Amino acid sequence: MNISSGQTALITGASRGIGRAAAECFARAGYSLVLTCERSMDALRAWAEELSAKYNISCLALQADMGNEEDVQALFSQIHRLDVLVNNAGIAHMGLLSQMTSREWRRIMAVNLDSCFYTCRAAVPLMLQKHSGRIINVSSVWGIHGASMEVAYSASKGGMNAFTKALAKELAPSGIAVNAICCGVIDTEMNACLSSEDLEALRADIPADRLGTPHEVAQLILQTAQAPAYMTGQIITIDGGWY
């Protein structure tokens, strides 16, 4: 069933994990899609072709480093209408803050936080044309609670949460809703750096007794995109009751 009524969604970081799952959820709902990734373009193009054929939608795969202002500008030069922006692209870094380089810090901030500024700045004028739109930022519980050994990542997601709340207030009079999906431990490649013992310890702390799935997060992203515009400025947690 085509719920979108011809709407277009941009999903960043869509070659794997949450972004890939979100692309299928939106495709199934009838959205036209623009999907991005930085490195895995062969996989993203194949995924876009599969979604286009399976769901009879337009699906464009484009390469972009979302932490690079010029890349984002080039991306938006190819987008002429936009109803939903999903800021999903992100990277993690684990290690002691005292051993982190300035370059590593800036890279985390660029991809996880600066990217939201670049995409939203470009997307808002397109949404203002119709006095409607949805911006959804994929965040983390670490942005609220903080994580040892992940100070930069936690700071970037905390910044994303504050960005979400502030931009929501700015855009509410224009009918554009801005919300964040605050993820707990989700079973994605981003957690591949964790040992089986670490993952088991995390699972034991989660009341749901398991990690979340990318599809569950993707479903919530779609539901948030289709929620009333009056729901804005929210940091929506999906963590199996963890926090």
User: Which has the closest alpha carbon to 37: 111, 92, 133?
Assistant: 111
- Residues assigned a catalytic role: 153
Q: What is the DSSP string of 194-236?
A: S-HHHHHHHHHH-TTSS-B-HHHHHHHHHHHHTS-TT--S-EE
> Rounded to an integer, what distance in angstroms lies between the CA atom of residue 189 and that of residue 208?
21
**Tokens 């794997």 belong to which residue?**
16
SS3 content of the chain, % helix, strand, coil (to 5): 50, 15, 35
Phi and psi angles of residue 21, each rounded to the nearest 5 degrees, phi first:
-65, -40
Both tokens of residue 52? 């286009």
| Angstrom distances, CA of residue 183 to CA of 56, 145, 195 | 30, 12, 20
> Rounded to an integer, what distance in angstroms lies between the CA atom of residue 34 and that of residue 79?
8
Length of the chain: 243
